[in-house]
Structure formats: C-alpha cells, structure tokens
Amino acid sequence: MGALDSSYHLWRLRRRLQWPADRLYELKKRKLAELLNYCYRHIPYYQEKFRQIKAQPEDFRRPEDLDHFPILEKEILRDRALEFLDSLANRSAFMRYRSSGSTGIPLELFYHPAERLRMGYTVTRELIYNGLRPWHRLVNITEPRHTSPKDRWYHRLGFMNEKFLSVYESSALNLKLLRVIQPHALIGFPSVLMLLGQQMPLDEGLVLKPRLLFTIAEVLSPEDRKILTAQWGVEPIDLYGANEIGHIAFQCVRRKGYHLNTDSLHVEILAGNKPVGVGQRGEVVVTNLDLRVMPIIRYRVGDVVQRLEGRCLCGCTFPTLGHVSGRSDGFILGLNGKIFSALEISLLLKPLEEVNQYRIIQDQGGKIVVEWVPRDSNAQPQGKIQRLLKERLGDSMEVATRRVSEIPRERSGKIRAVVSNLPNPFWKRT
C-alpha cells in the first residue's frame, strides 16, 4: 500500500469513530455474515462446529445471535491451529507468528500480510485519535521481531518518524537513544516505561518530556498509572490488545473507559457463559470480523473487564469497556539489585516448541522457578529454558525448572505467565 492509499485508508477508519451507532451496527452485521459464510465453506474447525450445533450461517443474523456458537478456548487454538486454516489455500503466502504474551501458552498464528497491516492501522487510529500527528517523532519500545521479516505490523503504523527500541536493551542505553531522538510520543510496556522512568533522574542529559505516553501489553494498574505520571510528567493512555486478534480497545484523552474497536470486533463480556449486566464484571470473549486466514470466533481472551454503558463525552461513538482487572505482571528481581520487566522475561520463552504452557514463579530475589507442561512425553526443554533466561538475567541467577502436568488458572480466570510473590519494587519508592 502506498503512502497515499495508507493516508486515505486511515482517514476512512478515523471517520468511523464518529459514526452513529446504527451505522456501526449495520457494518458489523454485514461483516459477521461474510465471516460466518466464509468459515462455513472453508475452515475445517468451524465446519465441525456448525455440524455439531446443527446450524447454518443464516442462523446468526445479528451479532447477538452468536451466543449460541461454541466458545473458542486458547488451548484449542494451540492444539488444533492447522484446522483453522483453509485446507486449499496457498500457505506460502501466509505469515507465521508465534505468540505467548502474558499467558505462557505459546500459540502458532497465521495471517495474510494485509491482515497484519490492517491490525497496524487500527493501532495507528488509536494514536491519531489521541493526538499523535504525522510530524511527531514516535518511539516504540517493543520486543524485536525474530519471526518473519514480513511480520512488520507494529513496524508499519504509517508514520515516517517512528523509531524502534528493544525492551532487551539496558535502560541506560535506551535513555541515551531517547535523548537523541527526543520523541513527542512513546509506546511501551508499563513495566519497561517504569524502569526507564526510574533510571531517568540518575542519568545526566537532556530532560525527556514526551507529550504522549501510551502503555500496551500489560494490565496498567492504578498504582502503575500514578508512578508513570509522576515519572514522565504526563498521564499514560492505555491501549488494550491481544496478539491473536489485534487491538481490542483503547483509552481516549478522558481516560475513563476503553473504546472498543467495534468496527472490526464483536466483544462479549460473559460470566458463566451468559452476558453480564451493566456495571458487572465478566470475561472478554472476542470475534474478529476481519480475519480470514485464521478466523477467530468467540475467543476467550482470558481477561476480566467491567461492562459499561453510555457514551463517552470525547465524541467517539464506539462503546466503552471498563478497566481490565487484575494485577500488572510486575517485575523479576535479578542479582545486584537489577530489576527486569516480568513480561519481557516471559516473552523470552516464546520459542519453546516443546511445551504446551509455562509459568515463571519468583518467591525470592536471585532465584526463579519455571514450571512447564510438556507437549509430548519426549519434551526436554530444561536446557533451553536455562539458556534463554540466563542469557538475559545473568549466569549467576538461579533458574530451577519443574515439569508439571497442568498450570491452573488464577481465581479470576486469568492465565499468567509470571507470578511474582515479591513486593513491587516501585511501590515503596513513591
């Protein structure tokens, strides 16, 4: 897509934020019919589901009718990934993407490059709506991509001035680079931005004063929000997404709830598989209306949010969600007072192909335990786990591994890749 096409596409997407509710509803209905027809004709997993419930795509005329369709669990997507692909499609055109995020369940996902690009545009729209301008310097502190070179959805947000820093670089080096770039806007994991913010007053040099601070990929707790605001002089705007399905919702400048990307997703908030009432909390279940290579219908994301109602005063007509519940992923305490972002450490284990799930537990500084569930009886990932973690945490860090048959969900229903039982190192300091 050329620059002109991209600008036009973004402009169209941006306009939808003010569409009246009935127009958005019609768009969703049309997209849902197309999605279900496609899955019915092409996708083995969904063909099986339609057969099991003795239904046809026409039985689901409105998004609300989807409540009769089976819910898709993360474990099914992991174990039966290839059944979500059209058996006749030319798979060489697909991008393969490994994800584990904050859950510790490695998933293998497939996309068409155009689908990843569209997901990127949704993010760009969130940034533009919140004040980012094309002439702004934007820095994205993220994990470097080591999958396919084509996988550049984050890397193509449509900005000429976007730069990337790696979460695996030291805070000192990243601060040095940030001082050279002097970004107008920063995007990063809350934990990583907090580590940078803590280091900032200790380093000499120009003061960093971004106008916009976007947080992503971890739960942003109210405490973390206060710390980041104090450190950076600007209150973060939180963006909520999941690798499998793209960005789900975003905060606006009012920072009350999160606007759902309702033009590309159908989101349900359920408790005991029934919709919750207004003000109640429930699990997030998402249908992506645009994906075709690996369509996702009624996917239980594993987060708990509050259902809100009423329009936000910012002018965006997209419905809003409440805050995502739960603790933030927190930090791993290394040796000699070193602090690491827990999400950054858990992402290191993403390449483990021999495990179905993993979880990192820290009960004392300088030591971690990694629980892992084998994919099959021959799995021997212990050496790889040690190497991947010690490379980052240091050779003297004690890394124990423990084979387990299952890793239970937390009481909230959330699946967490990292459990730190140590006090959050930032809470004492502010």
In angstroms, what is the minimal distance from the CB of 351 to Zn ion?
Answer: 38
Neighbours of 344 (CB within 10 A): 24
Measured over the CA atoms of residue 284, residue 287, residue 290 and residue 291, the dihedral's sign is positive
Per DSSP, helices labelled H in 53-94 are: 74-79
Structure tokens at 211: 């106008």
Closer CB to Zn ion, 100 or 320, in the complex: 320
Binding mask 249-268 for Zn ion (x = CB under 5 A): ---x-x--------------
In angstroms, what is the minimal distance from the CB of 76 to Zn ion?
Answer: 34
Interacting stretch for Zn ion, rule CB under 5 A, among 102-110, 175-183, 248-256, 285-293? 248-256
In angstroms, what is the minimal distance from the CB of 18 to Zn ion?
Answer: 11
Structure tokens at 69: 């369709």
Q: What are phi and psi of 116, to 5 degrees?
A: -65, -40
Closer CB to Zn ion, 238 or 329, in the complex: 238
Place of tokens 């799995």: 379
Of 335, 333, 330, 340, the C-alpha closest to 170 is 340
Closer CB to Zn ion, 314 or 324, in the complex: 314
Closer CB to Zn ion, 312 or 389, in the complex: 312
Binding to Zn ion, residues 84-113 (CB under 5 A): none
Q: How far apart are CA 142 and CA 132, in angstroms?
A: 18
Closer CB to Zn ion, 175 or 314, in the complex: 314
In angstroms, what is the minimal distance from the CB of 86 to Zn ion?
Answer: 38
10 CB-near residues (< 8 Å, 6+ apart): 121, 124, 125, 128, 158
Closer CB to Zn ion, 312 or 349, in the complex: 312
- Determine contact, residues 325/412, Cβ cutoff 8 Å: yes
Closer CB to Zn ion, 320 or 356, in the complex: 320
Of 347, 348, 352, 343, the C-alpha closest to 403 is 352
Q: Tell me which amino acid residue 199 is.
A: Q
Q: How far apart are CA 380 and CA 382, in angstroms?
A: 6
By CB under 5 A, the count of residues binding Zn ion is 5
In angstroms, what is the minimal distance from the CB of 62 to Zn ion?
Answer: 26
Interacting stretch for Zn ion, rule CB under 5 A, among 80-88, 92-100, 246-254, 296-304? 246-254
Place of tokens 């033009």: 263
Binding mask 359-388 for Zn ion (x = CB under 5 A): ------------------------------
In angstroms, what is the minimal distance from the CB of 312 to Zn ion?
Answer: 3
Q: How far apart are CA 346 and CA 344, in angstroms?
A: 6
Interacting stretch for Zn ion, rule CB under 5 A, among 15-23, 244-252, 271-279, 346-354? 244-252
In angstroms, what is the minimal distance from the CB of 278 to Zn ion?
Answer: 17
Distances (CA, A) of 399 to 174, 366, 368, 370, 416: 27, 9, 5, 7, 18
Q: Does 128 bind Zn ion (CB under 5 A)?
A: no
In angstroms, what is the minimal distance from the CB of 140 to Zn ion?
Answer: 23
In angstroms, what is the minimal distance from the CB of 125 to Zn ion?
Answer: 13
In angstroms, what is the minimal distance from the CB of 259 to Zn ion?
Answer: 6
Closer CB to Zn ion, 154 or 258, in the complex: 258
Closer CB to Zn ion, 316 or 397, in the complex: 316
Binding to Zn ion, residues 315-354 (CB under 5 A): 316
**DSSP, residue by residue, 142-163:** EPPP-S-TT--SGGGSS-TTEE
Structure tokens at 221: 């707790």
Binding to Zn ion, residues 394-423 (CB under 5 A): none
Binding mask 297-316 for Zn ion (x = CB under 5 A): ---------------x-x-x
Q: What are phi and psi of 165, to 5 degrees?
A: -120, 155
Distances (CA, A) of 328 to 95, 217, 303, 362, 420: 30, 10, 12, 15, 10
Closer CB to Zn ion, 258 or 372, in the complex: 258
Closer CB to Zn ion, 260 or 301, in the complex: 260
In angstroms, what is the minimal distance from the CB of 311 to Zn ion?
Answer: 8
Of 298, 171, 280, the C-alpha closest to 231 is 171
Binding residues for Zn ion (CB under 5 A): 252, 254, 312, 314, 316
